[in-house]
Amino acid sequence: MLNSMLENRYKVLKLLHQGENNQIFKALDTSTSGKVALKIELSENHNLILHEIQVLTDLYDLIGFPRILSQGKHKGRYYIILNYLGKSLQNKFLSLNCKFTLSCVLRLAEEFFYRIESLHKAGYIHKDLRPENVATGYGLNWQSLFLVGFTYSNKYIENNNGRHVQCFITKTLSSNVNFSSVNVMNKINPSRRDDIESIIYILIYFYCGVLPWISNGKMTEVEIKKTKESIVLEPLCKNYPFEFISCLRYVRGLEYDQEPDYEMLRSCFKDMALKNKILRVYDWALSNEKMISRARLDRSKTPSCKKTTLRQMRRTLARESRKSLGKGSENKVMEFKAKEETYDGKFGDSKDSKDNEENKDMISRMDTVISDEYPEIKNRDQIIKLRNDFLQIWIKECILTSKRRS
């Protein structure tokens, strides 16, 4: 599959994830030179991709969900081309020593409940929420969360009458044992409340670094279910913040077809941040700011500095002369330096304005650096705008904090 070309446009570069039924590759859109994601089925007999295409088509206009760029068949297997996203929360979690700070978890909680509310309002439930199925944004969208992995998602509203589907016992077991709800483990068909319960398990997992049933890898499904049922009771709940357990108790008290109070859930974690005077930010915010500061900019539309340009030109000429002439050619290198001085004079005091313009254009073109590593960052204005947006948010949080103290 690697190095294959799809639709004479998308070149497959790297395997990113190997799932049970599909593979996800990093690919290059040769028409735009941008990165895209390719998701393709493992077998010709599967048609789960077709189901996911239907779900993502219905979610196309919503924030925080992948967008389909193209779809088709390759050697009998269905595939979809999606916009490129960042790392999953599981990868972020592992890279940060398997634990997020409380400020990060509270920020994630807010984003989680916004995303799941949008999904539920569109008439779908996810059914497979886990850290691997939540991705961060790519490039300048690094602050956004994206829900992915809609292979098992389905509608909870009947198309013919608009009513909620009836509760029934299913014969299939969930493959997501660690983060599935107690009702799902009891083989009750999932509804909106079960997505919320999975989110709370994920938040506890990120904050504590582990869940009781994950730390003991030898637990059976029956033992895991009993541990989940007792997590809201003493003495287990004393190890977790009260707000987590309070939300868990609320969700388990919902009826099968009852709509969760998303605003109440968000407010619970927001009040927790205010009470503890916590600024809700991601733990990986600093690393992304450093990435932006180190990014090489496309300066083709910005005025060039003459002194810097000449210095770069001298270094380039000297480097090229050493490569082409070899050792013992110092005299010829001096000739290059003499030519550079004549260029310097032309740029400074020459009366021939036409030569000046041609030389300046030449310097501007030589000074143009187009970044392949960070194609989202086009010029300095975007960096300044990003910095100003961050400062405005920080100032508002400081004002709110000072008002609370007074």
Alpha carbons within 13 angstroms on the beta-carbon side of residue 30 total: 11
- Compute the mean pLDDT over every residue in the chain, rounded to the nearest whole number: 80
% of the chain residues with pLDDT over 90: 46
Nearest to 146, CA basis, from 61, 262, 48, 63: 63
Q: How many Cβ atoms sit within 10 Å of the Cβ of residue 345?
A: 10
Please count the CA atoms within 13 angstroms of the CA of 400 that sit on its side-chain side.
16
Residue type, 336: F
Residue 91 has pLDDT above 50, yes or no: yes
Give alpha helix (H) positions in 131-282: 182-185, 192-208, 212-215, 221-229, 242-252, 262-275
User: What CA dihedral angle connects 177, 244, 200 and 125, to 10 degrees?
Assistant: 120
- More confidently predicted of 65 and 326: 65
DSSP symbol at 141: G
What are 261-274's pLDDT values in tens digits? Answer: 999 999 999 999 99
Q: Where are the domains of the chain?
A: 5-83, 89-283, 306-366
The domain 89-283 is classified under which CATH number: 1.10.510.10, 1.10.10.60, 3.40.50.300, 3.40.50.1970? 1.10.510.10
pLDDT at 98 over 60: yes
Burial category of 88 from C-beta neighbours within 10 Å (exposed 0-12, middle 13-18, buried 19 and up): buried
Whether the domain at 5-83 and the domain at 89-283 fall into the same CATH topology: no
**pLDDT one-digit tens code per residue, 111-168:** 999 999 999 999 999 999 999 999 999 887 888 899 999 989 999 998 888 899 999 9
CATH 2.30.40.10 fits 5-83, yes or no: no
User: Which pLDDT belongs to residue 349?
Assistant: 46
pLDDT beyond 80 at 202: yes
Classify the C-alpha dihedral 193-194-195-198 as positive or negative: positive
Pairing of strands 68-74, 34-41: unpaired
Does residue 276 register a pLDDT over 50? yes
Q: Which residues contact 386 (CB under 8 A, 6 or more apart)?
A: 140, 292
Report whether 385 contacts 376 (CB < 8 A). Answer: no
Q: Categorize the per-residue pLDDT at 245 as very low, low, confident or very high, splitting at 50, 70 and 90.
A: confident
For residue 95, the model assigns a pLDDT of 92
pLDDT at residue 110, as a whole number: 94
How much is the pLDDT for 128?
A: 94
Is the model's pLDDT at 96 over the cut of 80?
yes
pLDDT value at 206 more than 70: yes
CA 148 to chain centre: 10
Tokens for 356? Answer: 């000046």
What pLDDT shows up at residue 241? 82
- pLDDT tens for 307-361 read 445 566 666 666 665 655 554 444 544 444 444 444 444 444 444 555 555 544 4
Mean pLDDT, range 2-19, rounded to an integer? 91
Which H helix or E strand runs over 377? none
